[in-house]
Structure 1
Amino acid sequence: MVQPHPDSSKTAIACAVLTISDTRTPESDRSGTLLQDQLVAAGHRIPAYTLLPDEPQRIRQQVQQWAKQDDITVILTNGGTGIAPRDTSYDAIAPLLEKTLPGFGEIFRFLSYQEIGSRAIASRATAGVYNKTLIFVLPGSSNAVKLALEQLILPELHHLTRQLVPPS
């Protein structure tokens, strides 16, 4: 994939990973592990990781807490983006976003459609900025996480995080 302005920066970005699931444990959290492994392999740091049940108040509190920390620049969540009654990640996080990146969700669903067909319409994956922190809200599927990381997040992570810093 061609990047219009290739990033030459190799700066490690501090990324927090939040898995949202009523059934996973740290040992069975394949998507959370995949996020951490891929980010570290790309040269980034993981100063925080946690797993929470699909409870909007707890999800929102965790995101707000991490967004206040100076050592976290990006938050990546996985799980809870569908339309089932317990899928509440989008509902918990979207109202916090001060700026949204509609293109992320749109392109993610387009790429997902190419892999899984019309079921991609059920994804409420989104991204945006809250308190100068870049946030990605991803499905819990490991294939979806891999797709988002490889095709969208990792190629643009340096560029997007540089946009958060005001010019000096």
Structure 2
Amino acid sequence: MPDSVCHTPGPDTVRIAVITVSDTRTPETDRSGARIRELAAARGFPVVSYAIVPDEPDRIDAALTAALDHPDVEAVVLSGGTGISARDTTVEVVSRRLEKELDGFGELFRMLSYHDIGSAAMLSRAIGGIAAGKPVFALPGSTKAVALGMEKLILPELPHLIGELRKHRQKTP
């Protein structure tokens, strides 16, 4: 991080909900969800909620609502359903819920992906923002994509995001 960047102090740990969106994955075959949980745990961020839901908007929305309403969840990471097929509806569900979109997340994710997969990176609709006062990120379903998003973007910034959200919440009467 450049020396000129000043971060609002944030917590040492962030409690995360993980939602895998897939018609075919089970807890035994969900490698991307497992990778998110492993990376979060390695950073000291406990995963307090985990779900697998089919690529159905109502089911995705219900899982997202449950995660956002969970009193111990401070951030939500979704995996899957961010592509361009007719069944890929995660982005539509998440974007309806966002109070503020973090445009830079998707832009940076695609830029970093381009270095790995070339022009196919433009097919990713990864999105991030704030919903119900909590950071929410939707990543593609591949293990390589979730590792990239978690290691390079989400995990390094989550404490800062939480710190910013708490700072402004405390100032609101």
Is the CA contact 1:10–1:43 (under 8 Å) kept in the aligned structure 2? no
**Residue ranges of structure 2 left out of the alignment (5+ in a row):** none
Distance, in Å, in 2 between the alignment partners of 1:27 and 1:153 is 25
RMSD of equivalent CA atoms: 1.6
Change (3 A) 1:13 1:88: same
- Measured in 1, the distance between the counterparts of 2:37 and 2:51 equals 11
**Is it true that 1:96 corresponds to 2:97 in the alignment?**
yes
Q: Normalising to structure 2: TM-score of the pair?
A: 0.91
User: Which residue does the alignment assign to 2:17?
Assistant: 16
Please list, as runs of the form range in 1=range in 2, the aligned pairs for 1:41-120 lying within 5 A after superposition.
Answer: 41-120=42-121
Change in 2 beyond 3 A, CA 1:128/1:9: closer
In the alignment of these two chains, the number of paired residues is 168
Q: Which one-letter code corresponds to 1:114 in the other structure?
A: H
Give the CA deviation at 1:5.
Answer: 3.7
Which residue in 2 is equivalent to 1:129? 130
Render the CA deviation track for 1:141-160: whole Å, top value 9, x for unaligned. Answer: 11011111111111111001
1:167: how far off?
Answer: 3.5
Q: Which runs of 4+ in 1 moved over 3 A?
A: 5-10
What TM-score do the two structures reach when normalised by structure 1? 0.94
* 1:119-154, Cα deviation, whole Å (9 max, x unpaired): 011111000111111100000011011111111111
Q: CA deviation at 1:11?
A: 2.1
Contact 2:10 2:163 survives alignment (8 Å): no
